[in-house]
Chain A
Amino acid sequence: MKINKLIVVTLLLSLSGLVASQSAGDYEAPRTEWGQPDLQGVWNFSSDIPMQRPQRYGTQEFLTQDEIQERRDAIMAGRAAADAAAARINVPDVPDEGSNPGGYNDFWFETAGLGDVVRTSHIVYPEDGRQPDYVEGAKVQFGGLGPDVPGDRPVRYVVGGIDKNGPEDRGLSERCIVGFNSGPPFTPSLYNNNMQIIQNKDTAVIMTEMIHDARIVPLTEKPALDDDIRLWSGDSRGYWDGDTLVVETKNFNGFRQSFGAAGQNYDAVLTEKFTRVAYDTVDYEFTVDDPGTFTDKITAVVPMIKMAGQIYEYACHEGNYGMVNTLRGARVEERLVSEGIDIGERD
C-alpha cells in the first residue's frame, strides 16, 4: 500500500509540473454541490525541497533545468544505492564489518520526486527564503533524534526531549499530542504527509492523518472565541477569496513552537491559503506572524498532490508503548546506578 502510494505520488508529481505548466492560470476548480471550489480529497504534502533556501541560491526562487537534472541524478543514485541495500537483505552474506546497513525504517520515508518546476525552498518570504532573525528574548528550543538536550518545560518541539523524568519532558509527538508534520501549518516531513479536506456549505474540515486531528473551519461569520480558550491547534476561521480558501488561526495555547525551532505560539497568527490549481494539485501557502519571536513574517508554499487512497486512523496514543519504555528504562538505569552497577555510557 505504501509503495503504491509512493508510486502514485511520484507519478503525479512528475506529471504535476506538466499539468501546472499547461493549466496555470486558466484552470477552474470543480464545484461542490453548493457551488464552491471543490478542494475535497486526500492530499499529500511530501517534499524533497528544503524549508529554508540554501544560502548559495540567494533570492533565486526556482532551480534551473540543469540544477533540476543534477537533483534528479542524485536522487536516482540514492535510489540505486537503496535498492542495492535492499537486495542484500535477501542475500545471506554477512555485511562488511563496519558497513552501514541503513535504518530499519527507511522504507517508510516518503520522497516526492521532482516536476519540471522546482523551488529552491518552501519559504518564499522573506525574499531570501530564509527564516528571519529572532527578536531578542525569543524562546529557542532544539529537539531531534539525538541525545536529550537538557532544558526547561514546557517542551514545545515535537521530537526529542529535555530529560526522562516524566512524559512532559518529551517532545509533543512522542507524547502523541500533536503530529510532527501536521501543524498547523503543514510542514513536509519523513512520512505520513497526508491530509484530507472535507467541505459543505458552511464548513471546511482540514483533517490530518497524524494524530487524527480534524480542524473544523467555519466559513460563516461567528463571534471570536474567548481569549481564555486556548487550543493546541488553535481556533480557525475561514472564508473564500475568489477560488482560494483562506483560513486564519489564532488562540494557540503557547505550548508549541510558532515555526521551526523557535517561539511559543500563544500570540502567533497563522494564515493559510488553499487553492486548487490543477486536478491533482492544491497550492498550499501559509504565513506565520509571530512578532514575539521573529523580526518579520514567514510565508511558505507547499504543493499538495492528490492521492488515490484514503487516510488511516493514526492511533498514536493508544499504541504508545514507547513512552512507558522510555520512562521505565530511565528508572531502571537510576536503580542500577544507585546499586553501583556499571551500565556504560548513556545519552
Chain B
Amino acid sequence: MKIIVKYLLTLLAPLLFAGIADAQVLNEFPRTPDGKPDFSGIWQAMTTAHYDIEPHAAAYGPYPREMGALSAKPASLGIVEGGRIPYNEVSRRQRDENARDAITKDPLAKCFMPGVPRANYLPFPFQIVQSRDVILLAYEFAESNRIVYVDQPEIVSQVDAWMGHSNATWEGDTLVITVTGQMEDTWFDRVGNFHSFEMVVEERWTPGGPNHIDYSATITDPNTFTEPWTVSFPLYRHVQEDMQLLEFKCVEFAEEYMYGEWRKEGTPIGNPDQ
C-alpha cells in the first residue's frame, strides 16, 4: 500500500507543484482593490505576424533595390489557431486580389487606425489604464485608442468606428471584450487579410504570469468566413522603469503618400527644422 501511495505521489507531485506554481504566478499578477486582475501597464506583442497572420516563410520585401534586407519580410509561425483563415470562396479571391498589391493598399500606409485585433500585434507598444467601469487602451500607432465599457451592456455601438465599440465582462480572471461596429476598411495584416462590416471580435485577456497576458481574439463574420476563427498570442509587459508611450502621430508621415500627387511641383515636403 505504501509503495502504491509513494508511486502515486511521485506521479502527481509535478502536477501538484505545477498547480501551486500557476497559482503563485497568478497571485503575482497585480490586482485592483476589488480583486480583479489589473491589466494596467504598457504591453506589446512579440511577433512578426503583423506582416502576415498566417504561417509564412521569409520573403522579399517591396523595395529590394532601395532597402536590401531591411525591407524583407521576416518568417512567422503566424497567430491563427489551426494556421489558416477559413475564408469563403468569394472572400478568398478578394484576399488574393488584395495581396497582389498589398503594400499600396494596406490602410496602415495611410496612417489609418488599425482596428481590433490588429492594433494588439502591431510592432508598437500600447498602454492599458484600467478603472472599474471603463478601461482605456491607448495605442502608440496613430494615437488609436479604445474605451472599453465594463459591465455596461446598455452602452451600445451607435455608429461604426475604426476601433469599433468595446463592451466587457469578467469571467473569473479573464476580461472578455466584445468588439462590434468596426469599419470594414481595416485589414488584419500587410498581405490583405480582411473582414466585412459584420465582423464581431471576442477578445479574451487572461493573466499568464506577472508580466504577460494570454490574449486571444475570435473573429465571427459570416459575410467573409465559413466559421469563426481565432488568433492567439502572448502580450508582454514593458518592465523598464522609465517606459512610457510616446507619440507616433503618423498623419504627417503619410501626407506625401496620400496627397503627393497634388503637391505643387518643386514645393518642399515637410516643415523646416526647429
Report A's interface with B, CB cutoff 8 A: 1, 32-34, 40, 153-154, 164-168, 175-177, 196, 198-203, 205, 207, 211-214, 216, 218, 222-223, 225, 229-233, 253-255, 264, 266, 310-313, 315, 317-318, 323-324, 327-328, 330-331, 334
Contacts and interface: CB of A to CB of B under 8 A. Distances in A.
B131 interface: yes
B274 A33 contact: no
Interface of B: 32-34, 38, 40, 110-113, 127, 129-134, 136, 138, 142-145, 147, 149, 155, 158-159, 161-163, 185, 241-242, 244-247, 249, 251-252, 254-255, 258-259, 262-264, 267-272, 274
Contact of A331 (B163, B262, B272): B262
Contact of A166 (B147, B155, B245, B269): B269
B270 A168 contact: yes
A101 to B, nearest CB: 28
A153 B272 contact: yes
User: Which of B40, B127, B254, B262 has the most chain A CB within a 10 Å cutoff?
Assistant: B262
A207 B145 CA distance: 10
A211 B144 CA distance: 9
Nearest to B252: A177
Contacts of B133: 40
Nearest to A168: B271
A212 B111 contact: no
Contact of A33 (B33, B40, B185): B33
Contact of A330 (B110, B129, B251, B264): B264
Contacts of B254: 317
30 contacts: A33-B32, A33-B34, A40-B131, A153-B272, A166-B268, A166-B269, A168-B271, A175-B255, A177-B252, A198-B147, A200-B32, A200-B38, A200-B129, A203-B40, A205-B129, A212-B144, A214-B145, A216-B127, A216-B138, A222-B241, A223-B242, A230-B274, A310-B147, A310-B155, A313-B161, A317-B251, A318-B110, A323-B255, A324-B262, A331-B262
B267 A166 contact: yes
